[in-house]
């Protein structure tokens, strides 16, 4: 019998396993792929703060990010640059493997090519049914950590609810030149209700991707790759050779992230940022809280939902506000026509707003800037005139 079985060897599962094993608990991690971190469909942008706060594999860092450029469909560009590094672009395979190795070094066991088939919570233990190389086994543990990413097959049975909101994402890694900063492309035709991005990985490699709540993301991405802003900078390759990978990102809080002998972390608990869809930093925060809660449950011998409830209240206290705020921002953004996006970027280029942006824009906590933004009278004027934003802004001094 193990102390804890973790289902899923992504960053959330492995970081929880790392901390639990470090505290002396016996931990088994189940991962359905034969290699940790492969395949991975991710842009790999992780804040510098995440690297400062958590024990993360620095060898996964491919590039530093100091600047972001936002492109309106009607021509305006907003440039936010800082002197210091704000985030890193990482190789997700190396990143995921680095965390898993830390967990293994602390004594966690990993079973790869192993599918968790069922999670059965009993009064005095959890039974986890697995299938590996055509054989079936049952493992027992005191607690199960569900960190299975976007596989929600167990959620209903376990009574924890599934996420209801998803972003459909597509991404391609391409040989390219002249991509120096992170670029964000906005517009109802480009990425309906969301955004597209180009993130340079090295001097000749870029990750171009797109998220949307509306239509087929891979079709939209192919269309974006045809646009001058991308086409002229990527190496000429046959269209059919471009490998587009597609995946969903959940957003919005799920009903419950714990139960008797069960804790849910990462994308499994929909702990992503609704604004960008980034989930690694939040997943790591919640993994740490999950591990602390489980360690305390072992100390007290309390494995029921009452003993694990603190997990949910703690992570909601830390990131719940930002998730809720991001959710509403996305709701408002959904209503934006291209004109509104244009006027918003022009608003952000006004000196006083741009200064606030530079000072308060935080890579992980978007509510900091939003709160400061909302304190500005010009923001309310903008909101009031939203339907005729361009007309208002074009009459504003300095535009």
- Sequence-ordered strand ranges (E) for the chain: 2-7, 27-30, 45-47, 61-65, 67-71, 77-81, 87-90, 109-111, 114-121, 126-132, 135-146, 165-175, 182-185, 196-202, 205-212, 245-251, 258-259, 262-264
CB of 63 to ligand FAD, least distance (A): 12
Site string for ligand FAD, 208-247 (x = CB under 6 A): -x-------------------------------------x
CB of 126 to ligand FAD, least distance (A): 14
Confirm or reject binding of residue 293 to ligand FAD (CB under 6 A). no
Query: Looking at 36-44, 316-324, 346-354, 360-368, which segment touches ligand FAD (CB under 6 A)?
Result: 36-44
The whole-angstrom separation of Cα 77 and Cα 68 is: 10
Q: Which of residues 102-141 bind ligand FAD (CB under 6 A)?
A: 115-116
**Between residues 10 and 389, which has the closer beta carbon with respect to ligand FAD?**
10
The whole-angstrom separation of Cα 147 and Cα 264 is: 6
**Residue of 267, 312, 342, 364 interacting with ligand FAD (CB under 6 A):** 267
Site string for ligand FAD, 360-379 (x = CB under 6 A): --------------------
Task: Using alpha carbons, list the distances in angstroms from residue 122 to 38, 125, 197, 213, 304.
Answer: 33, 5, 46, 38, 11
The whole-angstrom separation of Cα 15 and Cα 327 is: 26
The two tokens of residue 45 are 């942008």
**Between residues 147 and 234, which has the closer beta carbon with respect to ligand FAD?**
147
**Between residues 340 and 365, which has the closer beta carbon with respect to ligand FAD?**
365
**Residue of 2, 10, 86, 367 interacting with ligand FAD (CB under 6 A):** 10
SS3 per residue for 167-215: EEEEEEEEEECCCCCEEEECCCCCCCCCCEEEEEEECCEEEEEEEECCC
Task: Using alpha carbons, list the distances in angstroms from residue 129 to 3, 5, 14.
Answer: 16, 11, 20
CB of 366 to ligand FAD, least distance (A): 13
Site string for ligand FAD, 158-187 (x = CB under 6 A): -----------x-x----------------
Confirm or reject binding of residue 33 to ligand FAD (CB under 6 A). yes
Confirm or reject binding of residue 43 to ligand FAD (CB under 6 A). yes
Confirm or reject binding of residue 249 to ligand FAD (CB under 6 A). yes
Q: How far, rounded to the nearest angstrom, does the alpha carbon of residue 84 sit from its chain's CA centroid?
A: 23
Confirm or reject binding of residue 9 to ligand FAD (CB under 6 A). yes
The whole-angstrom separation of Cα 282 and Cα 271 is: 6
Q: Can you give the binding site for ligand FAD, defined by CB under 6 A?
A: 7-13, 30-33, 41-46, 115-116, 147-149, 151, 169, 171, 209, 247, 249, 266-268, 272, 277-281, 283
């Amino acid at each position: 019998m193990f102390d804890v079985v973790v289902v899923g060897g992504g960053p959330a599962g492995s970081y929880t396993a790392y901390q639990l094993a470090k505290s002396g608990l016996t931990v088994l991690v189940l991962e359905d792929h034969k290699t940790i971190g492969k395949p991975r469909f991710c842009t790999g942008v992780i804040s510098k703060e995440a690297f400062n706060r958590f024990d993360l594999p620095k060898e996964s860092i491919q590039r530093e990010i100091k600047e972001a450029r936002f492109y309106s469909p009607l021509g305006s560009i907003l440039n936010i640059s800082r002197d210091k590094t704000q985030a890193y672009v990482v190789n997700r395979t190396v990143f995921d493997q680095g965390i898993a190795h830390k967990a293994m070094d602390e004594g966690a066991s990993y079973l790869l090519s192993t599918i968790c088939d069922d999670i059965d919570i009993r009064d005095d233990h959890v039974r986890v049914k697995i299938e590996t190389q055509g054989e079936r086994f049952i493992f027992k543990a005191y607690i199960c950590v569900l960190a299975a990413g976007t596989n929600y097959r167990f959620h209903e049975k376990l009574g924890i609810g599934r996420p209801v909101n998803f972003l459909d994402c597509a991404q391609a890694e391409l040989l390219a030149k002249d991509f120096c900063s992170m670029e964000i492309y906005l517009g109802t035709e480009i990425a309906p209700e969301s955004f597209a991005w180009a993130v340079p990985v090295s001097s000749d490699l870029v990750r171009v991707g797109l998220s949307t709540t509306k239509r087929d993301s891979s079709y939209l991405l192919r269309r974006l790759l045809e646009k001058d802003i991308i086409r002229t900078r990527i190496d000429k390759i046959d269209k059919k050779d471009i490998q587009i990978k597609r995946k969903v990102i959940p957003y919005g809080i799920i009903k419950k992230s714990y139960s008797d002998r069960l804790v849910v972390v990462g994308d499994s608990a929909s702990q992503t940022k609704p604004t960008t869809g980034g989930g690694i930093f939040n997943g790591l925060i919640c993994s740490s809280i999950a591990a602390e809660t489980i360690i305390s449950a072992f100390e007290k011998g309390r494995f029921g939902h009452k003993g694990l409830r603190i997990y949910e209240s703690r992570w909601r206290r830390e990131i719940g506000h930002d998730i809720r705020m991001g959710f509403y921002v996305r709701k408002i953004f959904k209503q934006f026509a291209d004109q509104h996006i244009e006027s918003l970027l022009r608003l952000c280029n006004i000196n006083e707003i741009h200064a606030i942006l530079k000072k308060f824009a935080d890579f992980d906590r978007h509510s900091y800037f939003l709160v400061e933004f909302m304190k500005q009278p010009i923001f309310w004027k903008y909101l009031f005139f939203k339907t005729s934003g361009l007309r208002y802004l074009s009459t504003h001094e300095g535009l």
